Amino acid sequence: MQHSPYQKFARYYDTYVQHFVDDLSFYCTSVKGSKSVIEVGCGTGRILQSLLGSCSHITGVDVSTEMLAIAKLRLTDQLATGKLHLEIHNFLDGPMVDHFDAALVTFFTFNYVLADPYVLADPQIFLSHLRNSVDRQGVLIMDLFHPKPLRLPETDGQWSEMSFSTDGRIIQCRDRRTKSK
């Protein structure tokens, strides 16, 4: 029987991330007024807890039953209202049945798809399934580790924008990189 790498890691992760708050206002502002939001890689629920006041309904998904068990304990009252739903889901396996106004791939989750030795998969599959889970006019926000400000300090905290077309859709990207203090 193969054990999940998260089995022993979930409690450590929860302790490590629970006091990190620098990204919360950005996520809450970004989804304010959305009807349905999905947080991919929701872990133990740190961001979900903050998002509840910003949107009508939120779904948190993760590949780890251990992480979601902690989230369920932390968010019991919110789950009871029906405004929050937690689910095991791996976007490498397929899209969600439901569609969402906004998708958040938070706290370096996509970096795990790129580098996780337990996940030997094409990241394009992940992105394709994620795209098929978001409404055509939906918003996708991804938190990625990229050390550009370390190489180019003048870019620290600066926004850059670009857009491109794919599959008849215009994709607009806004990017801001910051160094941790």
Give the pLDDT band of residue 2 (cuts 50, 70, 90). very low
Interhelix angle for 65-74 vs 6-17, to 10°?
40
User: Average pLDDT in the 111-132 region?
Assistant: 74
Q: Is the pTM of this model over 0.85?
A: no
Q: Summarize pLDDT for 29-66 with one digit per residue, the tens.
A: 999 999 999 999 999 999 998 999 899 999 999 999 99
User: 103: closest CA among 115, 92, 111, 95?
Assistant: 95
pLDDT score for 115: 61
d(CA 124, CA 14): 29
User: Average pLDDT in the 111-116 region?
Assistant: 66
pLDDT score for 14: 79
Instruction: Give the mean pLDDT of the chain.
Output: 83
Higher pLDDT, 39 or 4: 39
Q: Summarize pLDDT for 5-21 with one digit per residue, the tens.
A: 666 777 777 777 778 88
Q: Print the SS3 string covering 22-73.
A: CCHHHHHHHHCCEEEEEEECCCCCHHHHHHCCCEEEEEEEECCHHHHHHHHH
pLDDT higher than threshold 60 for residue 146: yes
